[in-house]
A and B are shown apart, each in its own frame.
Chain A
Amino acid sequence: MAGRGYKRSWRNLILDTEYQLVFTTAMVLSAVVFMSGLGYEVFDMANTATKTAIADVQGQPVLDPAVAEETIRGLEHRRDLLKAILVGIGVCMTAGLFVYGIKMTHRVAGPLHKVSLYCDQVTAGKYEKPRSLRKGDQLIEFYEHFRQAHEAMRRRQEVDVACLKAVVAAADGAELAKRSPELAERLDDLRTLLARKEAGLV
């Protein structure tokens, strides 16, 4: 992870598919329910008003048929326009909300993704110093808990290394390996462990 920039990119917007899609879908669905329910009501009323107006126009015997037809066409066009506007707003809002929802949940999934990468490193025995979160990220408090834990684990690793170095140096100084084959073998184990722990402190 070292040296890699943590810029947000469209390709990486979905980091936790299940969480991000569930929460975005919930947001989009609630908007769709309100939009379609009330939108239908608006359209229904507009339709009724248009029908009444058309009946009114058709009931005018003195009106020129061409004018009446033009008026009816105009009324129907207005109704269709309202329908198109309602559907258009609904579709745009759904798409916009979907993108917003993904971006919003990304600000939670991002820090978790970062922590999970550090967890993988610790699992592999590596203790790279954690970077700070990006601007706009959430879970700041949670990340602080993680950072402190990581710092403590790294510190303990450093203490282990210092202790093992002191033991190996003292053992070499006192030539303990020559005292018994068992002791020499155990000392080699300590050296291997020391090398592994040192390698983890990148």
Chain B
Amino acid sequence: MSNSDDFVPMPPMPVKHRRYLRNYIIDKRLQLRYIAVVSLLSAAISGLLGWMIWSQRAQASQTIRRSLVEAADFVGPSQQAEILQHLTGSDTTVLLRMALVCGALILVLSGVLVVMTHKVAGPLYVIGGYFDKLAAGRVPLVHNLRRGDEFKSFHRKFKDMCNALRFRAEEDATIYGAFLTACAEARIDESGAVGHSLEELRRQKREKEESLHG
């Protein structure tokens, strides 16, 4: 017959969970939704203001072109062609440079957001796994979250719950065990209803002890 000292829970070992690049997207719906909203918003702002910059620049270039036509007497055709070519090239360069800078910024931003959202999806994934263990009748040993993870207060409450469940399972098994021992010491006849109920109590005690193995 085992007593409560036999199944005192081991304290959770300080397991180091490393973050791997391939694991950064855990919950596609949650993470990609947020990343998409921020990236699309940034792209929309860049597009709108970029268009304003480009249209102002195009307007300025158009003014210079008109001035060149008006100044045909002073500027030769080859010079005019050179200036026009420079203007066109400059407009395209500005457009390309702007698109590249904004695109790169959005890419970097998306990368940062993947890391940020991973710190949300990670704890949820881990706790989801603990819930599965609880559903399977085991009481998990809850490890601490990794540094930088979100939902610390929720995790603390969940850990408190698991600790309470462990404590209660230990206490139940102890009370069941003490009753079974007392019955054995009193040499109770285990036939009929008493025998059936004691057998069920033994089974419940075993289940409770097994549930503590995480």
Give me the interface of A with B, judged by CB distance under 8 Å: 16, 18-19, 22-23, 26-27, 30-31, 33-35, 38-39, 41-42, 45-46, 49, 93, 97, 104, 108, 112-113, 115-116, 119-120, 122-125, 138-139, 141-142, 145-146, 148-149, 151-153, 156, 159-160, 163, 166-167, 169-171, 173-174, 176, 179-180, 182-183, 185-187, 189-190, 193
Contact = CB atoms under 8 A, between A and B. Distances in A.
A139 B158 CA distance: 16
Interface stretch (B14-22, B74-82, B189-197): B189-197
B49 to A, nearest CB: 4
B175 A167 contact: no
A104 B132 contact: no
B9 interface: no
Main secondary structure of the interface of B (DSSP, over half): helix
B41 A38 contact: no
A163 B200 contact: yes
A162 to B, nearest CB: 9
B131 interface: yes
B46 interface: yes
A119 B57 contact: no
Contacts of A182: 182, 185-186
Of listed A22, A26, A167, A179, residue having the most chain B CB within 10 A: A167
Given A41-B53, A45-B56, A153-B134, A112 B151 contact: yes
Interface string B174-187: 01101101110110
Contacts of B50: 38
Contact of A190 (B37, B112, B179, B188): B179
Contacts of B23: none
Nearest to A115: B154
Contacts of B116: 22-23, 26
A156 B211 CA distance: 11
Contacts of A173: 193-194
B4 interface: no
Nearest to A32: B45
Contacts of B86: none
B172 A160 contact: yes
19 contacts: A22-B150, A26-B113, A34-B45, A38-B49, A42-B56, A119-B160, A120-B157, A141-B27, A142-B124, A142-B128, A148-B132, A152-B135, A152-B136, A153-B165, A163-B201, A170-B193, A180-B185, A183-B183, A193-B172
Main secondary structure of the interface of A (DSSP, over half): helix
A48 to B, nearest CB: 8
A97 B42 CA distance: 12
Contacts of B87: none
Contacts of B69: none
Contacts of A35: 45, 49
Contacts of A122: 161, 164-165
B168 interface: yes
A148 B132 CA distance: 8
Nearest to B116: A26
Contacts of A124: 164
